[in-house]
């Protein structure tokens, strides 16, 4: 049986799996993201151990970013300018590939999650489509012309500029680069700073959620107008709250105001903006799909 490795390096947690080419998981582990030395050693140790029992054809890595994805670059596979302490200029791909002698491919965690949803989740074969994660950070991965969207670097839609009415929401935003960009206003962290309590403690009818839904809807509307996606999958910690889907769909419809003449948007919002079909495993299974596609193009 052909087996592949998948790694999702998240801001707080790392998940490693070994799975077959249909995404069936044979082995799995997870541990907290600490400093790079310790974290990367644990990834390597898991796969070295697995490779004693299985033949693993290739490994896919989906990582938090920003990450250099230009194969021609001297710093290909490096985490670049992250605010995450200790992780700037870390040669993530190099360190893992020097320790494990198998083909390896790297992309962002959100692009990996988009690949997971496109391969086995809520957006199978749907193109173009986008995946947003809204949690401790905000990121977007996209599938266009059956390939993950890459350009100068990778999409950074989490930092798009959205309308911020300071009379309604005096919170100045929490992005260290832009203040009140989308991520500055709408991460779980921003929510906690604004309301001075963790999001989980706020009831569904708290005004926090309509404000949050409005910011997310603004970003989705911009994305709908720009990329014309046929489906939008929303994952991440904030989206664990199911009531948010209802609010976001309403806000997207209100902001678009029937401008986009698509039946999917006018009558099918419930199947247009959806949760991930793979739950919390979109990223790591997407990394497996990246590895499979890399080994068998």
Among 56, 100, 181, 221, interactor with Zn ion by CB under 5 A: 181
Cβ of residue 220: shortest distance to Zn ion, in angstroms? 17
Q: Does 280 bind Zn ion (CB under 5 A)?
A: no
Q: Beta-carbon neighbour count of residue 170 at 10 Å?
A: 9
Question: CB atoms < 10 A from the CB of 207, how many?
Answer: 11
Instruction: Extract long-range pairs of 218-223: CB within 8 Å, 24+ residues apart.
Output: 218/162, 218/163, 218/182, 218/255, 219/132, 219/138, 219/157, 219/160, 219/162, 219/182, 219/186, 220/132, 220/248, 220/252, 220/273, 221/252, 221/255, 221/256, 222/160, 222/162, 223/130, 223/140, 223/157
The answer to the question of residue 178 lying near Zn ion (CB under 5 A) is: yes
Task: Give the contact letters, 124-163, x = binds to Zn ion (CB under 5 A), - = no.
Answer: -----------------------------------x----
Rg (CA), the chain: 19
Q: How far is the CB of 54 from Zn ion (least distance, A)?
A: 41
Our finding on whether 59 is near Zn ion (CB under 5 A) is no
Decide if residue 186 touches Zn ion (CB under 5 A). no
Question: Which of residues 175 and 186 has its CB atom nearest to Zn ion in the complex?
Answer: 175
Q: Which is nearer to Zn ion, 42 or 159 (CB)?
A: 159
- Residue 175 binding Zn ion, by CB under 5 A: yes
| Interacting residue ranges for Zn ion, rule: CB under 5 A | 159, 175, 177-178, 181, 183
């Amino acid at each position: 049986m052909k087996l592949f490795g998948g790694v999702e390096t998240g801001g707080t947690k790392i998940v490693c799996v070994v799975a077959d080419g249909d995404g069936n998981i044979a082995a799995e582990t997870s541990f907290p993201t600490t400093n790079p030395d310790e974290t990367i050693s644990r990834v390597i140790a898991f796969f070295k151990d697995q490779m004693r029992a299985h033949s693993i054809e290739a490994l896919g890595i989906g990582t938090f970013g920003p990450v250099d994805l230009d194969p021609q670059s001297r710093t290909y596979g490096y985490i670049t300018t992250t605010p995450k302490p200790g992780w700037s200029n870390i040669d993530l791909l190099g360190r893992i590939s020097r320790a494990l002698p198998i083909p390896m491919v790297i992309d962002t965690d959100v692009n990996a999650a988009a690949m997971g949803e496109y391969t086995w989740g809520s957006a199978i074969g749907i193109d173009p489509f986008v995946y947003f994660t809204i949690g401790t950070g905000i990121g977007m991965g996209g599938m266009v012309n059956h390939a993950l969207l890459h350009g100068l670097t990778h999409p950074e839609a989490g930092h798009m500029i959205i309308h911020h009415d300071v009379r309604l929401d005096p919170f100045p935003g929490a992005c260290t680069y832009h203040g009140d960009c989308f991520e500055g206003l709408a991460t779980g962290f921003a929510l906690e700073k604004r309301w001075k309590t963790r999001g989980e403690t706020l009831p569904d009818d708290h005004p926090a959620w309509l404000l949050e839904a409005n910011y997310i809807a603004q970003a989705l509307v911009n994305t709908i107008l720009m990329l014309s996606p046929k489906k939008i999958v929303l994952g991440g910690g904030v989206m664990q709250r199911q009531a948010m889907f209802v609010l976001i769909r309403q806000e997207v419809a209100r902001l678009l105001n029937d401008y986009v003449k698509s039946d999917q948007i006018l009558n099918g919002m419930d199947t247009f903006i959806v949760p991930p079909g793979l739950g919390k495993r979109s990223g790591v299974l997407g990394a497996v799909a990246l590895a499979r596609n890399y080994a068998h193009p």
